[in-house]
Every structure is written in structure tokens, then in C-alpha cells.
Chains A and B, each alone.
Chain A
Amino acid sequence: MSAGTTKIAVTVTDIVPLNDLVTRFRFERTDGGLLPTFSGGAHTVVEMKDGGKTRLNPYSLMSDPSDQTAYTISVRRDDAGRGGSLFMHRNVTVGDEMVISYPVNLFALDLRAHKHLMIAGGIGITPFMAQIKQLVATDGRFELHYACRNQALGTYADDLTAAHTTKVHVYFDDDKQAIDLENLLDGQPLGTHLYVCGPKGMINWVRKTAEDLGWPDEAVHYEEFLAPQSGKPFKVRLAKSNLEFEVGEHQSLLEAIEAAGVDAPYLCRGGACGQCETDVIEADGEILHRDHWLEDDEKRSGRKIMPCVSRLEGRIIVLDR
């Protein structure tokens, strides 16, 4: 069993609405013990018992990685999403008992870096909150450029600027402020590592600009959790488990497999970690690959699928599971 599927029973001890969209939740161990330490950039998968459904959503840990008494996450309400964030906002109250996974880090700092340059967009600020605490404690050199819609929605922008005046730069879209990315990247000393977390467009823009300027891939880190998307229902057959069932319109393939009682591997549930990779035996239809994990030729081959985010458009898919 991998770390990310080991569970911890926690109690919600604090809920703080930060603005119209974002609310912070604090978890402490229900048994009163200490939580594992983690490294900045790690996430936890939160289990939500929503009626008959279990939702599992990954959230970046934003508390101090060395603080073992509590974890905090910040959840942005997504009214058009599949319901996980709405459940957190509407149904969770202080005192609730919940289950979260051990922390897993798919967005770790590269500690060989001479300097850490961070670029955040919107709620993408959360992993950097923990990374900055880690860097402050270890005397690491960092600089954060944070783009958000406006002052009111600039989650933690004030706290960050107050604490790190010379290192944090905030940009408000509504005021037409934008990161001067090319100049910013161009002026970085050798040994700088670049980290970006935010909407897809921002990640692509930062990666592309860095590549055009000759930055090595090894020095460019990004994290984007893809939320599984809804789609037409289709059938799945698990060859090893000898089961056949349907994947609903708003269900991911992974969720359907779990609902059928099969313990399938996962870590990020967002197409990034590679843990859920599954062999496809046969597919009657087209696989809609949505992950960041498989190589293009693997996607084209039709022999692999990442069930956490990808699905079939067609009749039936047969998996080696």
C-alpha cells in the first residue's frame, strides 16, 4: 500500500471563510495524537461522505510542514464542479469527523536550487503557503509572484505581503496588472528553480515561456490537479475481478471502480502522479485521455488509461484490473 492510501481519522476544529470563494479548514487527529510531518507542496486526499456517495478530493496542505498538531487546507468553491468543494463549504461543520490520507508530495521543492521562484494563480497559492514556511525555517531564498482577480479575492495576499514585503509580488487582474514573465525569467541567476501552480492557461504560459528562454525542464516544476470531467456514461469490464458495471455521467472511471468494491491504486486523483495507470485490454470507443502522465505515444496506443481523470467515449472498455 502506498503512503497516500493510508488513512488518518481527523476532526474539523476550525472553519474560517476567507472571502466569497475560499474557506479554510483545520484538521486535528481525532485520537489526539500527532500528525505526520510533510514537505511543502504536499497534498492530502479528503474523503467526503456525501449521502450514499464517497467523494475523494485532493487539497494542498498549507500549514507549516513542521507543525504536527494540525493540518489546514483552503478550499475554493467551484459552483460548476462535481460537488466536492460545495460539500466542503455547505455540509462540513466544526466538530465533524472526517478521514484524510497521509500527505503525498508531487510538487516538492528541489532543495538543490540556489533560489526558488514561485508563480501562483488564484487558489494555486496554497502549496506555496507551506513551501514558504519551510523555506523561511531553513533560510531558503525565494520570491513569489502571485496573480489573483482582485484585492477581495486575493486569498492570503495581505498576509504574505506583510510577512515577506520584499519577496512577495501581487498582481490584480481587475487592475490589469500582469506578471512581466519574460523579463522576470530572463533575470534569474543560475541555479534558480521555477514553480508554478494555478489555472491551466497560466501553467502552459509559464512552461512555454521558460522553454523558449532555454530553461532546462529539470528546473521547471508545476502542479495542476485536473478535476475529473463529466461525460457520457459507458460500460467497463474488469478482467481480473470479473466484474462489469457502468460509469455514470458525473462519475470518474476510478470512482466507478471503487464503487464496485475494487481497491484500485491512486495518489493524486488528478492525472499527475501516475499511480492509477491501468492496462487496457480492449476498448470499443475512443479513450479521452486527460492526464499529464502518459506519453503521447502511450495515449495513441490505446493500451493505457489513467482512470482518475480519463474516460471512454463509446460502449465498453475492458481493463486489466
Chain B
Amino acid sequence: MSTFEFPPSIISRPVYGTLAPRRGKHHLMIADAEGAEALLELAGKDAALMPRAHIIYVSGDVENPFVEKLRNIAPLHLYVGPSYNAAVPRLRRMLQDAHMGLQVYLAGTEGLMGQAMLEATSAGIPHTAIQTEHRGSVARRMQCVHCKGITENVITDPFTCSHCGLHLFVRDHYSRRIAAYQGVCVDAEDPGNVPPAVRLYS
């Protein structure tokens, strides 16, 4: 299993649940990598969802064994794409045409869920009405509070900003508007005094 129990933190930090079937005529499911497992389990809970389900799956690589399994649960549509960014135009178009009652299920890494959540809330769905389930990597999407650049897949703390090169401390302070955690310069008081990088949650 690809689950991880995040320790309790500040209120800003998103918390994730377990996907559960909901009522509604249309179901949009977005997942990356091991997030597929959560969708397979969801289909196991209520197979009747699938003929009304549109899955957007970010597979990462073409050999991904989950693709076949997702096909087997027979969703109305299955889109498999190489990256989240490649799926965004399709996602936006779907949300633009969608009606109230659409259920949104997000599963996988925090970066994927956060960005897809931002699209769904911008389209008008209250964030509390969107279900999420974390699976797979605990890497984060971080924003540098100094240069505002985003660094994807941050897995160590501190890390180096991929835009301005500052050494940033990984905070649990999260921005739903930007869909990223906030990284703050770790050696501002004492330049050069950078603690050794530790793998997140290790």
C-alpha cells in the first residue's frame, strides 16, 4: 500500500481522507501514480459510479501497470496523460461545461491534488465539497516566498529554490490560492549556515 499517515500539524496544512462514493449524475476523478489505487478501491465500493465517471490519470510513464487496471473498471472516459500540465486544458474544459452536482475525487500526490483542487474551486465548487485521498510520494510543491517561484517535487528540508537559489525551509503553511506550501529562507539571519538536508518525514 502506498498510504502515509501525516502527523497532525497547523490548521493551514491540508488533511486528506478516504474517497467514498457520493450521489450525483457525474463523477470526475483525477489521480496520479499510485493515486490509481484509491480509484480502484472507490470503484470496488460502488461499481455503479463508473459508467458515470470521467477519469483523468497522470501516469508518469507509459509502462505504468495501473493504466490497464483503470481500463478494467470501465469508466465512461479514461484519459491517460504524461503530466498534470498536459491534462490541464482538458480539465478546464470539462469544468467549464459541468453542472452542479458534479462530484470531484482527487487521489495521489499532494501536488496533483492541490493543483486540481485549485481548478475545481476556481470553477465554483466549494473546497470542502471535494474529496481527496493521499497516495504515493510525500514530495511537495513549494513556493519560494522570496522570488515566488514554484519548485515541484520537493522531498528534502531544507531545499534549494529552483528559481533564485535560496536555501528554503519547508513549512506546513499552505496556500490554496497557489496550490503550494510556502518555503522560507533558512539562513537569512546567518548566511551560509544551512542545516543538512533531511528527507521529508524520515
Contacts and interface: CB of A to CB of B under 8 A. Distances in A.
Interface of A: 112-114, 185-192, 194, 211-219
Given A213-B23, A216-B129, A219-B129, A191 B124 contact: yes
Given A112-B124, A185-B100, A219-B100, 7 more contacts: A190-B99, A190-B125, A194-B100, A214-B22, A214-B26, A219-B126, A219-B129
Contacts of A211: 23
Nearest to B95: A190
Contacts of B129: 216-219
A320 B53 CA distance: 53
Contacts of B99: 186-190
Interface in B86-140: 95, 98-103, 123-126, 128-129
Given A186-B25, A190-B95, A215 B100 contact: yes
Given A190-B99, A190-B100, A219-B100, A213 B25 contact: yes
Contacts of B103: 214
A212 B95 CA distance: 20
Given A211-B23, A213-B25, A190 B98 contact: yes
Contacts of A113: 124
A188 B103 CA distance: 14
Nearest to A220: B100
Given A186-B25, A190-B95, A215 B101 contact: yes
Interface of B: 22-26, 95, 98-103, 123-126, 128-129
A214 B128 contact: no
Nearest to B120: A190
Nearest to A211: B23
A189 B101 CA distance: 9
Nearest to A218: B126
Contacts of B26: 214
A212 B23 contact: yes
A218 B128 contact: yes
A190 to B, nearest CB: 4
B94 to A, nearest CB: 10
Contact of B124 (A190, A212, A213): A190
Given A213-B101, A214-B22, A214-B24, A192 B124 contact: yes
Contacts of B101: 185-186, 213-215
9 tightest A-B contacts by CB?
A: A191-B124, A214-B24, A216-B129, A214-B101, A218-B126, A188-B100, A190-B124, A213-B101, A190-B123
Contact of B125 (A188, A212, A216): A216
Contacts of A216: 125-126, 128-129
A218 B124 CA distance: 11
Nearest to A213: B101
Contacts of A215: 100-101
A189 B98 CA distance: 6
Contacts of B126: 216, 218-219
